[in-house]
Each structure stands twice: as C-alpha cells, then as structure tokens.
Amino acid sequence: MVELGQVHSTIHTIAPEILSEIFIHCIPDHFQTSIHPFPTSMRRLDHAPLLIGRVCSRWRSVTISTPELWSSIVVGTDRPYKGVNFRKELEAVRLWVSRSRSLPLSIVIGYSYITSPGHSPDEQLLSQLFHTLIAQSRRWRSFRAKVPEEFVDSLLVPFRTGDLPQLVNFVCEQIRAHSIKLSSAPRLEFVYLAGSAIHIDFGNQINVIKSLDVTRYNDPAVTLGDLLICLTQCPLLNTLAISIGSLSQGNLQPQEIPAVIELPFLRYFNLYIHSDADPCDLFDRLFLPALNKLQLTMYHSAKRDWPHLGPLLKRSHSPLDDLSLVGVPMTESTLLECLCYAPGIRQLLIYGIGYTDTTLNSFTINHNSPAASEVLCPMLREITLASAHPSPEGLKAMILSRRCGRNQSLITSENELQCVSCAHSSIESILDDPEIARCVAEGLQLISR
C-alpha cells in the first residue's frame, strides 16, 4: 500500500504545465449548456479557479500564472439585485481581465432584475463593470447577457464600431430597437437575440453563422429582403429561427431571387410571418436536403391556399422528422400532398388549417389492405390536431390502427403512436371507450387543447 506521504510527494512532483492543463478542465464551458438557468458565479470559493488556489501555495501560484483559468467571466444572478455586492463583482471582473492577459474571453452577465431604475446606488458600479468588459470587446469569444434595458445599448456598441474580431457566440436578451451589424464580427457562428424591433444587418459579405435565432420578440424589424440576404449569405446555417414583421420593402420580386437557394446543412428552420408578407417565391427556390425540423407560422396571409411547401419537400428529399404548420393557408388536399413528401415525420402539429375525417383516414392504417404500407406518415409518434373537431369514430380508428396489437405487423415500438393532442370535446368523446382506455393504460397520452 502506498503511504500517504508518498502520494503527497508525488503530487508535488507534477510539472506546473501539467497542473495547468488539469486545472483548465475544471472550468466549465458555459456555452455548451442551455441559455437557462444562469451558471454559477466565478466568485464562488467552492468552484474553480478560486477553489484550486486554496489548496496550497504551489497550486495558487500555478492558478495565478495560468491565464486560461481566468478567461471565463461569469457575473450576476438570476434573482433580484438585493444582496448582490456590486463592488466585489467589479473587483472580480478587473482581476479576471488582468489575469487572463490577452486570451479570448468567455463572458456571461446576468442582471435581469433591477429596482427603481435610474435611482439605484449600485448603478454607477454596474455601469463601471459593463464598461470594463466592453473595453475588452476585441477579446470577446463568447458573450451572453441578460441585463436591464438601460444597459443594453452600451453592450451593443462594439457591433456599431466593428470591434469584435474574435466573437464566435453571442446571446443577448431584452434588446429594444437595435440593429446588429454582422460584419463587425466576422467569426460569429452562434446568435440568439430576444427583445423587440431587432434588425439584423447581414452586410454584403458571406457570413460563417451556423445558428441564428431571432424569433422570441415582438414587433420584428426583419423583412423578406433581409431573409433573402440571410439565406444567400449564410451558407453554413444549420439552425435558423427568424420572424418577418415588416412589409416596408414589399414582397420580393422573382427576378431578385437566385434560381436555386441551397442550404446543405440547415436542419432546423422556424419561420414566423407576423405581417401579410408572402415568402412563396423564396420557398419556390429553396433546396434543403438536410432539413430535420420545420416550423412555419403564417397568421396574416390573404391567400386561401399556399401550395409552396409540398414542392420544396419533394425536391429536397429531406429527412424531415418534425413538422409544425400554424395558420398556413392550406386546403386539405394541399396539406395531404405536403405530408406525402415527408414519410419520416414523427412529430406533427397542425393548427389553423381546416381538415375533415379525410385527413384522419389518411393517417389510419388498414392492416388488411395490400396498400397498408403506403399510409401517410408511417413513423408518426406524436400528433397535434388543433382548431378542428375530428369525429370520435375517425379519431378512434386512427389511434387504434397505430398502436401495437394483434395482426398489426406494420406497428412496432419504433413507430407506435405515443401522444395525441386535439380539441377537448374530441378527447372527451373517446375516453370512455374500452379500447382507448386500454391504450391509455399502456402509455398513450391524450391531451385536451
């Protein structure tokens, strides 16, 4: 058995550069986690790097001389300001900035609550803290902030001055009436913005953005022209969530659009149309071979039928797994045609589109028919049929045909229907049925809307 003294001696023989590498792995990457909840403050004594420096004088010396340990700055709280020591926060930021030397910085700021705006005795310290970080904008690699509205403008100044040469990830909430100039951050790959009246200036250059999410806000300032620029100048996109809210430039003219707009890596596309803008000409040119999830919302279209989604799915042959159609003006036949070109769908939401039992019959598998394998969406596991009232008979037949049972060789644990959501009256009308009750007991979820 190794003596404790020998172990202690071995630890002290590890070269400083090896210790540094070990210590660096103790610092979490806050951009590998979700946007919420707020991460642990860097000032915690029971977390690296401060915890490591408390072990012994040698480890303290190694931590101080390892700038990578200080290049991740996390300040703030997800609770109201009461109890936050802003002076210590400011001192810590200055210390981390100094010890990180010239390395790129990963910054997380979370001051989302404030009392008596403009009158808090801590606002001066908070302003100094923000300006300390803004002064380091050329070093920003990842930046994530949720701060009071009155401070957002100062945090966005580097986008106007073009001073973000190393920025890769940017998350900012509570933005009000600002334009984000992407040419200021030529390496930007991940963008998440929330607020209102946000405009994206894509510039004239090809952008390397892979993920762009600007849907969670009111009064969007993005036009169809902006969307066209986004689709043609961001070829590496794998995630795009964007809202169109302005017709100030009118609808696009077909001659303005390339014959083919290919986004070979786009897997998730969420398009929310707030106005009566019509993206039909864009959809007629799009080629999305990797599309896995599509959410399309069109509440204000003046059209009675919008037959532009089916051809997109047909030519793209994409592995679509999740489809949400909300308020899209489609006839029932157009809807069914779209679904024919998406046989791999496992989750389907239909809202604001009229349908009858014809749609339910298309989803119902007749296991005794030679054409049973040609049923619509054979992999379907979750379906939401909102804003309509399917008949109890049609709903029951569809459910039972997609549950495992005798003589149903086409249904396995991989494609068995797991969840059905529709009008309260439709769900209530089948709950007392013994066969449906058995399905519920076996795990089927029935959700009233």
Residue with tokens 């793209």: 316
N-to-C CA span, the chain: 66
Length of the chain counted residue by residue = 449
Task: Please give the Cα distance from 14 to 233 (Å, whole number).
Answer: 50
- C-alpha angle 81/128/189, rounded to 5°? 85
Q: Contacts from 251-258 at CB under 8 Å and sequence distance 24+? A: 251/224, 251/277, 251/278, 251/281, 252/224, 252/225, 252/228, 252/281, 252/282, 253/281, 254/281, 256/228, 257/228, 257/281, 257/282, 257/285, 258/232, 258/285
Choose the weakest-confidence range: 335-339, 421-425, 435-439.
Answer: 421-425
Residues in a beta bridge with 109: 75, 145
Task: Please give the Cα distance from 446 to 280 (Å, whole number).
Answer: 35
Residue with tokens 């020998």: 6
Q: Where do the structural domains in the chain lie, given as residue ranges?
A: 7-196, 201-350, 355-449
Task: Please give the Cα distance from 39 to 222 (Å, whole number).
Answer: 31
Amino acid symbol at 444? L
Q: What is the pLDDT of residue 119?
A: 44
pLDDT in tens, 170-221: 999 888 878 899 999 999 999 999 888 888 888 889 999 999 998 665 667 7
Other beta carbons within 10 angstroms of residue 166's beta carbon come to 17
pLDDT in tens, 357-383: 899 999 998 877 655 567 899 999 999
pLDDT in tens, 208-254: 999 999 866 566 778 888 899 999 999 999 999 998 875 545 567 77
pLDDT of 1 above 60 = no
Q: What is the average per-residue pLDDT within 253-270?
A: 91
Task: Please give the Cα distance from 210 to 190 (Å, whole number).
Answer: 6
Paired tokens of 407: 């003589």
pLDDT in tens, 70-111: 999 999 876 665 567 889 999 999 999 999 999 999 999 988
pLDDT in tens, 112-171: 665 444 445 477 888 899 999 999 999 999 999 988 888 888 999 999 998 899 999 999
Paired tokens of 77: 């709280």
Task: Please give the Cα distance from 416 to 399 (Å, whole number).
Answer: 10
- How buried is 217 (Cβ within 10 angstroms: 0-12 exposed, 13-18 middle, 19+ buried)? buried
What's the alpha-carbon Rg for the chain, to the nearest Å? 27
Q: What percent of the chain has pLDDT over 90?
A: 59
- How buried is 407 (Cβ within 10 angstroms: 0-12 exposed, 13-18 middle, 19+ buried)? exposed
pLDDT in tens, 383-412: 999 877 788 999 999 999 999 875 567 888
Using an 8 Å Cβ cutoff, are 72 and 43 in contact? no
- How buried is 205 (Cβ within 10 angstroms: 0-12 exposed, 13-18 middle, 19+ buried)? exposed
Q: What is the pLDDT of residue 86?
A: 87
Task: Please give the Cα distance from 240 to 366 (Å, whole number).
Answer: 38
Q: pTM here?
A: 0.90
